[in-house]
Amino acid sequence: MKTLVSMVLATALFAAPAFAQTKKGVKPAKKDGAAVMLKVDTEKSDVKWTGSKVLVKSSHTGHAKLKSGEVEWKDNTITKGNFVIDMNSIANEDLKGNPKQADLEGHLKSPDFFDVQKYPEAKFVITSVKAMPNPGTVGPTHEITGDLTLKGETKSVTFPASINKLENGAEANANFKIDRTLWNVKYGSDKFFTGLGDKVIANDIEIALKIIATK
């Protein structure tokens, strides 16, 4: 009997300090799937655009810069996000060194197109992120849906995207098209004008989006 009592006492003595240390000195582990907010790196992120004519082989490519943005990272993917695009940063790439470059950029910023004086910012808010059912080793991993506000109009857009975890954040890449006329960018559109001939400009704008976000 004495031996049994001694064993119980010894067990209690050894367990008590360990319990106290766990309670006082060791913090509980962070739960898996906890949301982390990441700030968009506006220098490394990019919005590339391409516009083209319909009847002749002619196109122009350029960029616009992100002004700000953040994304929520949870369960090993981006789950939410919001971005502000500086529309005054619209720049043409393919006419560098050509006097027509400034003319094109000025026209794109005018009321004919994006009217940046009246609408200096465009916004995109992610409303849904869904994993692709069978993502491959390359290509899109998710489907992103969000509200794009441009020229005072807000429309929902959905596009495939590749989302990857980085050492200190996340990266998302996407290639998709938007119909500019849905945001009242009507210049040169055969939806609204006739007799344009080879001056018809495609309604779809190609977008190549790259987002880098860090802690």
pTM value?
0.82
Residue with tokens 């992103």: 144
Read off φ and ψ for residue 62, nearest 5 degrees: -165, -165
pLDDT value at 31 more than 80: no
**Which amino acid would we find at residue 102?**
A
Pairing of strands 153-166, 169-179: antiparallel
User: How big is the CA angle at 178 (ends 176 and 183), to the nearest 5 degrees?
Assistant: 155
Assign 105 to helix, strand or coil.
Answer: helix
Residue 120, pLDDT score: 99
Annotation: CATH topology of 34-214: Lipocalin (2.40.128)
CA distance linking residue 213 with residue 215, whole number of Å: 7
pLDDT tens for residues 133-178? 887 777 899 999 999 999 999 999 999 999 999 999 999 999 999 9
CA distance linking residue 86 with residue 30, whole number of Å: 37
